[in-house]
Structures are given as C-alpha cells and as structure tokens.
C-alpha cells in the first residue's frame, strides 16, 4: 500500500508553448515562496531562450495566491512591457486568484480572460507605450 507521504505532489506550475509564440504557465495549489523562486528561474530561462509574444498565466487552479506570487506577477508585467510582449491572466474569476488581485489593486493592470480557450482564441490588444 502506498502511503500519502510517498506520493509525488503535483508541481506548483507547468510551462509549455500552447501555440506558436504563446507561452502558457499553469499555476496550481498553494503557490508558495519556494514555488515562486523555481518559477522565476524557469521563466528567466524562457524569456532568454523562447521567442514568445504572449505569456498566458493560468490561475484557475490556484488555491492560495500569496504576496510572493503577486510580486512576481507585477515583475512579469513590467518585463513584458519593456520587451514588447503581452501578458494575460487566465482564470481570474477563481476566488483564490480574484480576491488578492482585486485587493492589491493589480487586477485592472492586466488583460484577463476567464478561460484558457478564450485566451487562446481571442487576440490581445497591443500594449500601450507611454513616453
């Protein structure tokens, strides 16, 4: 019999190229500081090595979106604006994602889509460039 502590937990995130030039990051569960540190390192590599135009962050399966995750979202928004890439938050209707984004004031700063299918099939508006 397998004990629960012997099971490998699901990773807190997965990164894949969903469509050409679209990078999809699926976050799930409690996105803690350790997971964010690993995610930040993996995304740094993706930014260097993958020629993507749109970054989709799927938050629909997040159970806890803490301050480290919010900091990373803000950092990704800044980086994508500087590098002329789009960032879209998916699944922001999920209460565990919606509430922290709303309370922190970050929600209106991002393009959002309720579902991954909507994000993949609806074009993103060009980012506004301020001078």
Model confidence pTM above 0.75: yes
| DSSP per-residue codes, 80-130 | HHHTT-EEEEE-TTSHHHHHHHHHHT-GGGSEEESSHHHHHHSPPPPPPPP
Contacts of 126 (CB under 8 A, 6+ apart): 86
Q: Which CATH architecture has domain 12-118?
A: 2-Layer Sandwich (3.30)
pLDDT of residue 91: 95
Q: Is 2 helix (H, G, I), strand (E, B) or coil?
A: coil
pLDDT of residue 32: 84
By the 10 Å C-beta count (0-12 exposed, 13-18 middle, 19+ buried), 33 is classed as exposed
Give me the tens of pLDDT residue by residue for the chain, a chain 131 residues long: 545 444 445 668 999 999 999 999 999 998 888 889 999 999 999 999 999 999 999 999 999 899 999 999 999 999 999 999 999 999 999 999 999 999 999 999 999 999 999 999 875 654 444 44
């Amino acid at each position: 019999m397998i004990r629960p502590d012997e099971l490998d937990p699901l990773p807190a995130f997965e990164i894949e190229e969903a469509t050409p030039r679209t990078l999809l990051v699926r976050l799930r569960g409690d996105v803690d500081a350790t997971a964010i540190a690993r995610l930040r390192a993996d995304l740094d590599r993706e930014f260097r090595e993958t020629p993507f135009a749109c970054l989709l962050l799927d938050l629909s399966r997040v159970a806890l979106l803490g301050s480290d995750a919010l900091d990373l979202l803000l950092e990704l928004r800044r980086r994508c604006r500087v590098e002329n890439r789009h960032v879209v938050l998916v699944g922001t209707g999920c209460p565990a994602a919606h509430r922290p984004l709303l309370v922190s004031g970050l929600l209106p700063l991002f393009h959002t889509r309720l579902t991954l299918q909507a994000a993949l099939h609806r074009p993103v508006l060009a980012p506004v460039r301020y001078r």
